[in-house]
Amino acid sequence: MDRLLGDVTRTPASVAMPMDLYRSGDTFVAHIDLPGVEPGSIDIDMDGATVTIRAERTPSVDEDTQWLTRERAVGTFARQLTLGRGLATDQISADYRDGVLTLTIPVAEAAKPRKIAVQHSTRDVPGEITEGATTEEQPA
């Protein structure tokens, strides 16, 4: 799994954007908590093997607000994932629902396990070689 996904960069912003990451079959799934973020402020960029997620949380207060305690972070947050080889980066999808951003990253067909056909030949008549049929390639 580490070879396919690569590095997950941990920064102070990762505290504001906690993430769960797992593999389910032929897909990696990242759930990133972004409560209080407007969907339009979420920006996801792919540059080479690096996915950068940015989001902005703005305070919803009026001018007369006098803070007693302010623990929820506001501002722009960013998080990066470095993807390894073997992923279908052109098929990454993102969905934002109930304050959670879900990235779905499929494994590329070429990286999936598969069976390799074994070629063989038989001798029907002494000294004569007959080519045998190959077994078709099948998914593992």
Domain limits of the chain?
2-108
Question: 41-55, 65-79, 97-111: which has the highest mean pLDDT?
Answer: 41-55
Give the closest residue to 26 by CA, choosing from 95, 100, 113.
Answer: 113
The pLDDT score that the predictor gives to residue 42 is 97
The pLDDT score that the predictor gives to residue 129 is 58
pTM over 0.85: no
CATH of domain 2-108: 2.60.40.790
Tell me how far the alpha carbon of residue 98 is from its chain's centroid.
20
The pLDDT score that the predictor gives to residue 1 is 44
How many Å apart are CA 10 and CA 21, to the nearest integer?
13
